[in-house]
Structure 1
Amino acid sequence: MNVQFINPFLDAFLNVISTMATINLTPGKPMLKHDEIAKGDVSGVIGMVGEQAKGSLSLTFEKRLALRVMHNMLGEAPDDIDEEVTDMVGELTNMVSGGAKRMLGELGFEFDMATPIVVAGKDHTISHVSRGKKIIIPFNSMYGRAFVEICFEE
C-alpha cells in the first residue's frame, strides 16, 4: 500500500482529534492486521470508491477515549457508549475521510465516500469493502487508545 495514500488519513485523524477534542495522540508502529476483530469499543467505518482506488477506513476508540472526546467536543459526559457517542464517532469518521479526500485530491486521487457505519461493543468486527491488505496504526493518549485501519485494493 502506498504511503503517499495512507499519510493523508493519518494526518487528517490527528488534525481532527487535536482540533475538535483538544487531545494529543501519539502514533505507534503501523502493522498488518489479519483478523476482523476491533481493538477498541466503538468504530466508525466508511467505504471509498474511485477510479484509482477502492477501499475503506475505520476509526476505533477505546471506551475511555471515546467518552473523553465526547466530553471535550460537546461538553457532555456519558457513562457509557450511547447513541450520542456513536453519532459522534460517525461524524469524526466523516471529518477524517473528508480531510483525507481533500489532501488526496491535491495529489490527483479522486474518490467518492459512502455514509459511515458505526459499530460498538466489545470484540465487535470490522468488515472492509475491499480484499486488500489491512494496515492498522495505533494511537496512544492519556485517555486510552485509538486505531486507524485502512484497507485498499492494490
Structure 2
Amino acid sequence: MSPDLAKPFINATKHVLSATAALEVVAGPPYVKKDKIACGCVSALIGITGDKKGTFCISFDKNTAVHIVRHMLGDAIEDVVQDVQDAMGEITNMISGHARVGMVSMGLKLQGSTPSVIMGDNHSISYRASAQAIAIPFSCQAGKFTLEFCFD
C-alpha cells in the first residue's frame, strides 16, 4: 500500500475537525498496525468500495470524543452515549468523504458505506481487506485519536 494514501486522510482530518470542533490536530508518523485492537474506546468504521476495497476507521479515547461532541453541540448533550455515537459517526463520514475527494486526484474513485460505531474498551476492528492497516496517530488539545485504513 502506497504511503501517499495517508495524505488525503491527514488533510481531511485536519480540515473537518477544525471546521466542526475548532480543533487544531497534529498527525504523528503513520505506521503499519500489527493487530486489530482499537486504539480507543469509541471507533467509527466505514466500508470502502470502488477502485479499491477496504475499511476506514477512527478510534477516539473517551475524553476526546466527549470534548468533540461538546464543541459540536455546545452544552446541549442530552444522552452522552447516543450523542457520542451519532457525532463520531458523522465526523468519520465527513473525514471519509473529504479523503475520498482527495483520492480522486490520485486516480481513485471510492465510495463509502454508512458508518458503524463500536464502543467499549479493547474492542477489535474487522477490516474488509486482507492487507495490514495503516494507522495515523493524532493529537490535539482534546486528547488523542487514531485513524486507520486498509485497502486491497
Instruction: Compute the TM-score of the two structures, normalised by the length of structure 2.
Output: 0.93
User: What RMSD, in angstroms, separates the aligned Cα atoms of the two structures?
Assistant: 1.7
> Structure 1 CA distance, aligned partners of 2:78 and 2:39?
20
Secondary structure of the 2:24 match is coil
Secondary structure of the 1:126 match is coil
Secondary structure of the 1:149 match is strand
> Structure 2 CA distance, aligned partners of 1:123 and 1:80?
23
- Structure 2 unaligned spans of 5+: none
- Structure 1 unaligned spans of 5+: none
Deviation of the 1:79 alpha carbon: 9.8
Structure 2 counterpart of 1:123: 122
Go from structure 1 to structure 2 and tell me whether the alpha carbon gap of 1:42 and 1:103 turns closer, same or farther (over 3 Å shift). Answer: same
Is 1:70–1:77's contact at 8 Å kept on the other side of the alignment? no
Q: Which runs of 4+ in 1 moved over 4 A?
A: 77-81
Cα offsets for 1:44-97 (capped at 9, x unmatched)? 10011113x111110111111111100111113759850111111001111011
Go from structure 1 to structure 2 and tell me whether the alpha carbon gap of 1:138 and 1:80 turns closer, same or farther (over 3 Å shift). Answer: farther
Q: Structure 1 counterpart of 2:91, which letter? A: L
Number of equivalent positions: 152
Go from structure 1 to structure 2 and tell me whether the alpha carbon gap of 1:21 and 1:127 turns closer, same or farther (over 3 Å shift). Answer: same
> Structure 2 CA distance, aligned partners of 1:5 and 1:88?
25
> Structure 2 CA distance, aligned partners of 1:116 and 1:67?
18
Instruction: Compute the TM-score of the two structures, normalised by the length of structure 1.
Output: 0.91
Go from structure 1 to structure 2 and tell me whether the alpha carbon gap of 1:63 and 1:115 turns closer, same or farther (over 3 Å shift). Answer: same
Is 1:63–1:80's contact at 8 Å kept on the other side of the alignment? no
Alignment of structure 1 residues 31-110 onto 2, 5 Å: 31-51=31-51, 53-76=52-75, 81-110=80-109
Is 2:26–2:139's contact at 8 Å kept on the other side of the alignment? yes
Percent identical pairs in the alignment equals 36
